[in-house]
Amino acid sequence: MTKLSVNINKIATLRNARGGDYPNVVQAAIDLQEFGAQGITVHPRPDERHIRYQDVYDLLPVITTEFNIEGNPIPKFIDLVLKIKPTQVTLVPDAVDAITSNAGWDTVTNQGFLKEVVAEFKRNNIRTSIFMGTDLKLIEAAAKTGTDRIELYTESFAVDFTNGNKEGIKPFIEAAIKANNLGMGLNAGHDLNLENIQYFSSKIPNLLEVSIGHALIAEALYFGLQNVVSMYLQKLK
C-alpha cells in the first residue's frame, strides 16, 4: 500500500493569518497520525510564511510515523535537517518568491551540487528524495546523485485528469518504470486529490508514498479532517 504523508503547511498558513497559535500545528500532527496518516510533511521556506523553522523542532518529539522535511537545500535548510534528522528529506528547487513548488530539478546541470547534498544527508542516515519531472534523461541523472528516491511532480497529470485527458498518466508510468529499473524508490506529490489519487496510484508501479497538503486540507473543510484521511487511505489501498 502506498503511504500517505500529510503536508501540514496549510494548517500553519491558517494559524499565521491571525498571528496566534490556533490551529496548533503540533496538535494537528498528533491528530493526523491518530487518524491514520503514515507520515507528516513540512516545507519550511526562508520567509516562514507557513511552517516556521521553530515548528519543525516543536514537531519532532510528537512524530511517531515518518517525518519528511521538504525544501531548497540552502545552508539554513541543510543545517535544520542535519539537526532534526528526519526520516526523509525531499530536495525541492523552489525559488524564494515561489508561491508553491513549480518545477523539478535539472539533475544534469545540478549534478555536482546534488551529489554533495545527498551524500551529506546519507552520511547522517537520512533518506533522500529529489523532486523532479518525468524527463527520463533527468531521472537517469538523478540516479547518479546517489539519492534513495525521487518524488514525481504531478501537477501536469492533475491538470490533464481534470480536463478529462487520462493519457496524461503515461509519462509518469514511464518515469516510474525508469526509476524502478535504476533502483530508486518512488514518491509523488503536487495537486493530487480525492478525485485523482486512486487513478494515479493504481497506474504507477511501486509507488511508495504520496505527500498531500493543500487539497487534503481544503477537502477537510467539507468532510472533516479525520474523514478525509480515511478516504485517502481507502483510495490508496
Q: Would you call 190 a catalytic residue per the annotation?
A: yes
Task: State the burial class of residue 100 (Cβ atoms within 10 Å of its Cβ: 0-12, 13-18, 19+).
Answer: middle
Q: Are the C-beta atoms of 236 and 211 separated by less than 8 Å?
A: no
Residues with Cβ within 8 Å of 121's Cβ and at least 6 positions away in sequence, in order, are 81, 82, 89, 128
Rounded Cα distance between 130 and 151, Å, is 6
Task: Write down the catalytic residue from 50, 66, 151, 190.
Answer: 190
Task: State the burial class of residue 214 (Cβ atoms within 10 Å of its Cβ: 0-12, 13-18, 19+).
Answer: middle
H or E stretch covering 90: strand 88-91
Q: Would you call 43 a catalytic residue per the annotation?
A: yes
Task: Write down the catalytic residue from 50, 66, 70, 219.
Answer: 70
Residues noted as catalytic: 43, 70, 190
